[in-house]
Chain A
Amino acid sequence: MLLFLARRLIQGLLVMLVISFISFAIQDNLGDPLREMVGQSVSEAERQQLRDELGLNDPFLVQYGRFMAKAVQGDLGTSYFFKEPALDVILGKLPATLELVFGATLLIIVLSIPAGVYCAIHPQSWFSKAILGWSILGISIPVFLTAILLIYVFSIELGWLPSYGRGEVDLIFGSWESGFFNKDGLLHLVLPCISLASIMLPLFIRLIRSEMVEALHTEYVKFAKAKGLKLTRIYYLHALKNTMLPVITVGGVQIGTMVAYTILTESVFQWPGMGFMFLEAVNRVDAPLIVAYLIVVGAIFVIVNTLVDLIYGLINPTVRLAGKSA
């Protein structure tokens, strides 16, 4: 177990090293950060001077070396726009994004499991066909369109739900701003979560359906029937548990990917999370923030993957994580 974690840690560090190098290497192509920082009538000479102050005129390796020297101390640079350490900015935005992803994940789980299971058990019913038909459609609709549509229907026409932002937040654990603990915050979560979930939901329904169909054709399900078990127990214990194994591996990684998908959702809903922040940072050529974001997202991927493997190990008794004593 320890060995497994140690190995993952090293892998994670390597991933982040590579990400930092690549993102650092491309930052010159992102544009000129000065242009977004100064007014139009600032002369070129003054801009040069500012560039010098920022160290933007140093050779690439010098800049990267300086960055790495600070990075090992946990300093990923200072955002040009926020004027704060990039990592602090991102960590400040992280709760909003994580709550969005959490809400979407919850929605996906709550909807996709019953829908997928239903489609697997009743392949011929019109409802299954409707779900599967919709899921094909759902995969092909861009999230931006879904979001605008939702806003139009639920905010403008019906006026039920707010159209943007996070609404009221409460402080929990001292510094975590959460929208889960009051009505306004929850209302604000609904549309963004649905939009974000809409990307993955069809995928999950189809995945669960096909895995469930497979599980229902296994010998142990047949044996469970022969044992005289009730169908509900067979479906929801025997088949579903096995269905969840591949769903956890694929799904876990997908949920990690969802952190990246938040960029679109957050920008449509003006959601103050790190995806939206990233988009803005790109527009503003806020290079330190861009680099830090990419590194943090890389770290999230590694963490999610590790968690997925740990959960998988918990559910599947045949898996022993490397290093765990038998």
Chain B
Amino acid sequence: MRSLIKKGIATAVMTTSLAFGAQAASLKVAYDADPVSLDPHEQLSGATLQMSHLVFDPLIRWNKDHSFEPRLAEKWQRVDDRKVRFHLRKGIKFHSGNPLTAKDVKWTFERLKSSPDFKAVFEPFTYIEVLDDHTFLLVTKEAYPLTLNAATYLFPMDSVYYSGKDEKGQPKDQLKKHGNTFASRNPSGTGPYTVSYRQQGVKVEFRRNENYWDKESKGNVDMITLTPIKENPTRVAALLSGDVDFIFPVPPTDHSRIERNTATDLVTLPGTRIIQLQLNQNRVEAFKDKRVRQAVAYAINNEAIVKRIMRGFATAAGQQGPEGYDGYVEDLAPRYDLKKARQLMKEAGYEKGFRISMIAPNNRYINDEKIAQAVAGMLAKINIKVDLKTMPKAQYWPEFDKRVADIQMIGWHSDTEDSANFTEYLAACPDEETGRGQYNSGGYCNPKVDKLLADANKETNLLLRTKLLQEVEEILYEDAAFIPLHWQNLAWGAKKEVNIADVVNVMNFPYLGDLVIEE
């Protein structure tokens, strides 16, 4: 099996003359899921974004240091509070051969606005103004600081290719969930790869786009085979046996095994997904008392959970956004102090404690069930007795939405890679109309936080904005609005010769176009 790669290299060299000089190689990837659709707008999920980065290209993309790297847009300037001007690279062609122009970007933007999944990200934007074939303005309703963040979601689609009707008489640009649309089967982007074969849930094969514009990329992978492998042990075994070259995720239990193995490497990055508990103030009177909420925060030993349950594969959290995000405040550390917790309970008049219910999923986050059990045990020490119920994610979310329990677990990753997004969905006063606080099952509501959030969302001066967001984190910390547990880390495993460390990132869409496999 191990010789397969070499064989692949040999045949590639013989049969294709590649534009770039490095040795061409093929890569077998095993993720836990494959993309639901080849339509980049159908579902906002990790698998879709991973696919988008292979088949399409964004205007700009994140660097490892949380800065932006020009892609299809070679440069940009903020014109004013509401407008940013982008300049497209010239001479770029879609897989279909059609040239990329600003019209395609506008077309894509409008399609995104109609996508149920993506429209939230583009909600602050009103329109794109095409200046010429390679220049356009991205315009927001109000002053908006996160235009560039949103631009990482803008993967221009081939508007000409997606025009007209397919053989079923449906418009080719039709965007429909589980619709078996033209776009869900036939992608045309500018990306480094084209899809050469796809059997949903079984295998996707990507082939190098020979006319790819980025000639500077050192990437030498001409063929990618993506297989979804659901079971953790099987995925790890596939890497260890050499059947695949690159896997994600690697369960914490197998980290040392992959590290020890002389043929494989483990790459980990601190993650950005916060796991937190929400205390429902509408169901439990005691949770309306700040002191009780703080007592819960003091009673829970985040570090112990990270160490013992997550085996160090997480970063204990005291706030929503991880380090590197705008609102991050270094002082807001986890606060485990049992004595203080008991004292707070006493002050609040709940020395004798009370009984509450709690729910958590058991197959959504890493070790979610074990974490919930540990929390229940920790709360018992301040006389809060927890009736814990865990369930598969499919059943969990409807229960979560119904707010059936007094404490509910949720994990959140900011789609905009920005602190404000956490507050918007998890800590803002719940408001059905605006969709704010949609996942705030605790019912925490502090008008001051909402005000700061609104200001931050308009503040295009990033320094000022950071101050606002930091103040939000501080208030939430003081109020113990929720109980942050940790940020889940990310771990990839790969063969030694596959230099994944260079291309992986915290958003978990590895830039495989730039991947180098050594001989």
Q: Chain A residues in contact with chain B, CB under 8 A? A: 29-32, 35-46, 50, 78-84, 148, 151-152, 155-156, 159, 162-165, 267-270, 272, 276-277, 279-280, 282-285
Contact = CB atoms under 8 A, between A and B. Distances in A.
A280 B202 CA distance: 12
Contact of A35 (B44, B231, B398, B415): B398
Given A162-B243, A163-B241, A270-B227, A41 B178 contact: no
Contacts of A283: 363, 392-394
A78 B425 CA distance: 32
B238 A164 contact: yes
20 contacts: A30-B395, A31-B395, A31-B398, A35-B393, A38-B44, A39-B43, A39-B118, A43-B120, A50-B177, A80-B177, A82-B200, A83-B184, A151-B234, A156-B237, A159-B2, A159-B241, A268-B233, A269-B234, A283-B394, A284-B394
B178 A32 contact: no
Contacts, number: 147
Interface string B400-419: 01000000000011010000
Interface centre among A43, A148, A276, A279 (most CB of B within 10 A): A43
B45 A159 contact: no
A279 B363 CA distance: 13
A162 B241 contact: yes
B180 interface: yes
Contact of A163 (B199, B234, B395, B425): B234
A91 to B, nearest CB: 14
Given A50-B177, A267-B230, A32 B398 contact: yes
B445 interface: no
A186 to B, nearest CB: 15
B394 A82 contact: no
Given A32-B398, A82-B201, A83-B178, A45 B432 contact: yes
Interface string B213-245: 000000000000001111101100110111100
Interface in B2-48: 2, 30, 36-37, 43-45
A35 B401 CA distance: 11
Given A29-B395, A80-B178, A151-B234, A40 B44 contact: yes
Nearest to B229: A270
B6 to A, nearest CB: 15
B97 interface: no
Interface in B165-190: 177-180, 184
Nearest to A80: B178
A163 B43 contact: no
A239 B8 CA distance: 55
Contacts of A84: 180
Nearest to B177: A37
B241 A151 contact: yes
B269 interface: no
Interface class of chain B by DSSP = loop
B36 A81 contact: yes
Nearest to A285: B394
3 A-B pairs with least C-beta separation: A31-B394, A39-B44, A155-B241
B11 to A, nearest CB: 15
Contacts of A38: 43-44, 116-117, 177
B415 A41 contact: yes
Contacts of B395: 29-31
B241 A83 contact: no
A111 to B, nearest CB: 25
A35 B43 contact: no
Given A82-B201, A83-B179, A163-B241, 12 more contacts: A35-B394, A38-B117, A41-B120, A41-B121, A41-B415, A44-B435, A81-B36, A83-B184, A151-B233, A156-B241, A164-B243, A165-B203
B1 interface: yes
Residue with the highest number of chain A CB atoms closer than 10 Å, among B30, B120, B231 = B231
Contacts of A163: 234, 237-238, 241, 243
Contacts of B120: 39, 41-43
Nearest to A167: B243
Contacts of B435: 41, 43-45
**Interface core residue of A32, A84, A267 (most chain B CB under 10 Å):** A32
Contacts of A40: 44, 412-413, 415, 425, 439
Interface in B89-125: 116-118, 120-121
Contact of A164 (B179, B229, B363, B398): B229
A268 B44 CA distance: 28
Contact of B397 (A32, A164, A279): A32
A190 B219 CA distance: 36
A29 B394 CA distance: 9
Most chain B beta-carbon neighbours within 10 Å: one of A35, A45, A270, A283 = A270
A147 to B, nearest CB: 8
Contact of B178 (A79, A155, A279, A280): A79
B181 to A, nearest CB: 8
Contact of B432 (A44, A82, A279, A284): A44
A71 B453 CA distance: 52
A158 to B, nearest CB: 9
Contacts of B202: 165, 272
B383 interface: no
B508 interface: no
Contact of A43 (B37, B203, B241, B438): B438
A197 to B, nearest CB: 19
Nearest to A165: B227
A238 to B, nearest CB: 46
Contacts of A78: 178
Given A270-B234, A285-B394, A164 B227 contact: yes
A81 B33 CA distance: 12
Contacts of A36: 394
A296 B318 CA distance: 51
A29 B398 CA distance: 10
B237 A41 contact: no
A155 B237 contact: yes
A270 B435 CA distance: 39
A41 B394 contact: no
B228 A39 contact: no
Contacts of B432: 44-45
